[in-house]
Amino acid sequence: MAQATVRAPRKAVIPAAGLGTRFLPATKAVPKELLPVVDTPAMQYIVEEAVSAGLDEILVITGRGKDAIADHFDRSPELEAALEQKGDLGRLAAVRRSGELASMHFVRQGNPLGLGHAVLCAAPYVGDETFAVMLGDDLIDSRDPLLATMLKVQSDQGGSVVALLEVPPDQIALYGAVASTPVSEELVRITDLVEKPDPAEAPSNLAIIGRYLLAPSIFDALRETPPGRGGEIQLTDALRALARSGEPVHGVVFRGRRYDTGDRLDYLRAVVRLACERADLGADFRAWLTEFVAGRS
């Protein structure tokens, strides 16, 4: 009998309907996903990461006031013509690039009922395929390709795969936490998940970070998931249902470079780190920073 060929995942879902209140007033009129990290909107890093892992069909879950995201990933004929006329080919290439990176699609969440609900909005787009969910607050350094590792695990083990990070126990309440059994040094099989547990009740200090590869069975699980932590439909709770039903759910323990752009202090750290590493700015910026920290600038 002919075996059905399993297509490598091509679709990524990026939830971007949140209000971005931690960055007000900057996010009053500008979506937080477009705040620049050096000179590139935070979300472009996520899209570039997806594309480098072969995920070039992208659905962004947006909401009211987020139309500028679609503009950023679209062509901009007037701007391109103006740059072309000036002969500014470097910037022209940069402007074209974001419009040509991936096949971008957008759907509005309508009611912000939680991350699980946002993911459920992707069901008609995703269909019956394994797909990625990528949360915009986590920037993963392109030198530490996490998604590629997760795709390999998914292809070997089937089911769903989440990215995990060991965090100090007192920080686990900020994340989804997992109970697991080790498979290898960087791989665990997940047996249970809890969204934002009190540290005293956390099953471990392994926290879910914003990269998931999800089997399409997650949609049925989400449809049956009642509101959980914070009164929201939690993706963590739907994954728990899958894990408890015996479907494989694995975790890749990430030990590479990750930048959190979700709160102001971490955002500033991300900007400084990435600016220091840039080929075009890094040397000058590092020199200035050294003087600044020494109190000489």
Enumerate binding residues for ligand G1P (CB under 6 A).
115, 135, 137-138, 175-176, 195, 207-210, 234-236
Cβ-based nearer residue to ligand G1P, 9 or 210: 210
Cβ-based nearer residue to ligand G1P, 100 or 170: 170
Cβ-based nearer residue to ligand G1P, 202 or 275: 202
Q: What's the min distance (Å) between Cβ of 296 and ligand G1P?
A: 38
Cβ-Cβ contacts under 8 Å for 50 (sequence gap 6 or more): 12, 14, 56, 58, 102, 132, 134, 147
CA–CA distance, 25 with 7 (Å, rounded to integer) = 44
Tell me whether strands 187-195 and 249-253 are parallel, antiparallel or unpaired.
antiparallel
Contact 222, 256 (CB under 8 A): no
Contact 106, 60 (CB under 8 A): yes
- Alpha-carbon torsion 242, 244, 250, 255, what sign? positive
Q: What's the min distance (Å) between Cβ of 124 and ligand G1P?
A: 23
Cβ-based nearer residue to ligand G1P, 178 or 275: 178
Tell me how far CA of residue 110 lies from CA of 13, 16, 64, 66, 232, in angstroms: 16, 12, 8, 12, 14
Q: What's the min distance (Å) between Cβ of 152 and ligand G1P?
A: 22
Three-state SS at 32: helix
Q: What's the min distance (Å) between Cβ of 232 and ligand G1P?
A: 8
Tokens of 141: 């350094």
CA–CA distance, 211 with 227 (Å, rounded to integer) = 22
Cβ-based nearer residue to ligand G1P, 98 or 204: 204
Cβ-based nearer residue to ligand G1P, 104 or 202: 202
Cβ-based nearer residue to ligand G1P, 95 or 235: 235
Q: What's the min distance (Å) between Cβ of 170 and ligand G1P?
A: 15
Q: What's the min distance (Å) between Cβ of 288 and ligand G1P?
A: 32
Q: What's the min distance (Å) between Cβ of 126 and ligand G1P?
A: 19
Burial of 279 (0-12, 13-18, 19+ CB in 10 A): exposed
